[in-house]
Structure 1
Amino acid sequence: MTDLKGLQDLFRTLRLAETAAQLPELIKKAETKELSYQKFLLEVMGYEQKRREEKMFEKRLKWADFPYFKVLDEFNLNEQNSLSQRQFNQLRDLTWIDQLYNILLLGPTGTGKTFLSIGLGIEAIQRGYKVTFITMGELIHTLKTEEITRKSQLRLKRLRTSNLVIIDDLMFMAMDQREANLFFHLINDLYNSSSIILTSNKGPSEWGELLGDPAITTAILDRIIHRAEIIQFTDDSYRMKHRTSIFKEGNVQN
């Protein structure tokens, strides 16, 4: 027991804390299976690597701040006539992130834009990318309070160092000149350093009405659409098609 404790302490000193905690079970497994020294070392180091990867995934998932957890395997392509299997696979391979491409997901509310963006974000985290998710309303508030709150400063620092930034509900509300300027400077910061996924129920031709300033609108569009894939969802709302009702046979008695 003393030897085991000493070995665990040594593992902790070497910053192999996950292995130190699991060491009794790893040794027991090795003895039961009569593993060779080489196989045992592979088991030990493989366990440490796996746990580190899991902890990094958990950390980056928390950092991303998704509103809910949905993976791409849950995305039902049969409900989407606007997106082919080939296009879906190309999005999923994530090579566009390394190429600094932006993805614009446009269409009515409830068609799966946010779902798809979250699924792509989680896939990216699993591949080792840093991802940040933020709604347009939250983004404007964070930009406006960056100079006065530590929370906003930290969130924008994480956003600016992300490989992939997801901005949900773009242009859902009109901006004043200061807000439009702040948004432009953020897009300029991300240009040539991060990929962006934007979801919106309005097309780029309508953004000018909400940004107000034609010059700012042109500058933002120039940076976003320079390298971008635009996917237009034209299907009916998934939520409306699959909504539930309290008025089912047997639920309400006369």
Structure 2
Amino acid sequence: MSQLSQLQELMKSLRLTETANHLPTLIREAEIKDSTFTQFLLDVAKYEQTRREEKQLERRYKWATFPFHKTLEEFNLKEQKSLSNKHLNRLKDLTWIEQLYNIILLGPPGSGKTHISIGLGIEALNQGYKVIFTTMGELIHVLKTEEITRKSQTRMKRIRDADLVIIDDLMFMAMDKQEANMFFHLINDLYNQSSIILTSNKGPKEWGELLGDQAITTAILDRILHRVEIIHLNEDSYRMKHRSTIFGQESVSN
């Protein structure tokens, strides 16, 4: 076995598989540049680090389960008068995640709620945050089967470990008491641990009708609305009275 083959096998045993496979190219590049031993080792270490970061990002994209890939740059602000470019950029800088703010995007179908939520999720992933996207229907199904299937257990662990959880189509259907109670316990788990983006065509005042239990509704709202920015799309946006806003004193609308 050649020295190159021995070195590649040794690297693989040390879990440096990506670098082992790319080693012949790295050696040729070092010979062309007439690199010192130190520079060659530095290039090898940097390559392994870069590939690990790329693979970790690939895994996080897979775990995020976005239904489609649309960035904030692709969002047409000209068709959405209730959100200015300045405020979209304020959302994009993601300081609200560090502050554990929640974002609620309200508006009718086609107003861009899901696009904005996914765009923010992609931005967060690229900045190193763990992100999960789920529809409300899928979330309820996973919660109900968590104690039954390993797949649901893994999914729920990733949701609870995420820095940002995006729940799409919140309250599109009525819940029974068991479902509402499980949803409350999830929100309670995420409270003061993660940021949440919620999209819905129904405002918080209407959620009680769909949750069916006033005590659970109040408990959920207390946690979600503690630190929140509520953005109405296709209408004048507003923030909850007596609550601070990530946009300072300005209105979200143009």
If the length of structure 1 is used for normalisation, what is the TM-score? 0.88
Q: Determine the structure 2 residue equivalent to 1:166.
A: 166
Q: Determine the structure 2 residue equivalent to 1:67.
A: 67
Distance across 1 between alignment mates of 2:147 and 2:7: 49
Distance across 2 between alignment mates of 1:38 and 1:78: 53
SS at match of 2:109: coil
Gaps of 5+ in 2: 236-254
Q: Determine the structure 1 residue equivalent to 2:222.
A: 222
Q: How does 1:1-254 map to 2 (within 5 A)?
A: 2-234=2-234
Distance across 1 between alignment mates of 2:51 and 2:76: 31
> How far is 1:15 from its partner?
2.2
> How far is 1:37 from its partner?
3.0
Distance across 1 between alignment mates of 2:78 and 2:4: 55
Distance across 1 between alignment mates of 2:114 and 2:159: 18
Shifted more, 7-16 versus 173-182: the winner is 7-16
Distance across 2 between alignment mates of 1:43 and 1:58: 22
SS at match of 1:105: strand
Distance across 2 between alignment mates of 1:72 and 1:3: 49
Distance across 2 between alignment mates of 1:148 and 1:43: 47
SS at match of 2:116: helix
Q: Determine the structure 1 residue equivalent to 2:240.
A: none
**Counterparts in 2 of 1:76 and 1:45: CA distance versus 1, 3 Å:** farther
> How far is 1:52 from its partner?
0.6
1:150-179 Cα shifts (integer Å, max 9, x gaps): 222221111111111110000101111111
1:168-192 Cα shifts (integer Å, max 9, x gaps): 0001011111111111111111111
Distance across 1 between alignment mates of 2:76 and 2:31: 46
Distance across 2 between alignment mates of 1:9 and 1:149: 38
Distance across 2 between alignment mates of 1:51 and 1:76: 34
Q: Determine the structure 2 residue equivalent to 1:242.
A: none
> How far is 1:11 from its partner?
2.1
Distance across 2 between alignment mates of 1:144 and 1:134: 15
> How far is 1:9 from its partner?
2.1
Distance across 2 between alignment mates of 1:35 and 1:74: 43
Shifted more, 24-33 versus 102-111: the winner is 24-33
Amino acid at match of 1:137: G
Report percent identity of matched pairs.
69
Gaps of 5+ in 1: 236-254
Amino acid at match of 2:48: E
Amino acid at match of 2:150: R
SS at match of 1:47: helix
Distance across 1 between alignment mates of 2:134 and 2:178: 19
Amino acid at match of 1:46: K
SS at match of 1:173: coil
Distance across 2 between alignment mates of 1:155 and 1:18: 28
> How far is 1:142 from its partner?
1.3
Amino acid at match of 2:92: R
Distance across 2 between alignment mates of 1:6 and 1:147: 47
If the length of structure 2 is used for normalisation, what is the TM-score? 0.88
1:16-61 Cα shifts (integer Å, max 9, x gaps): 2111110101111222233333332332222111111110001111
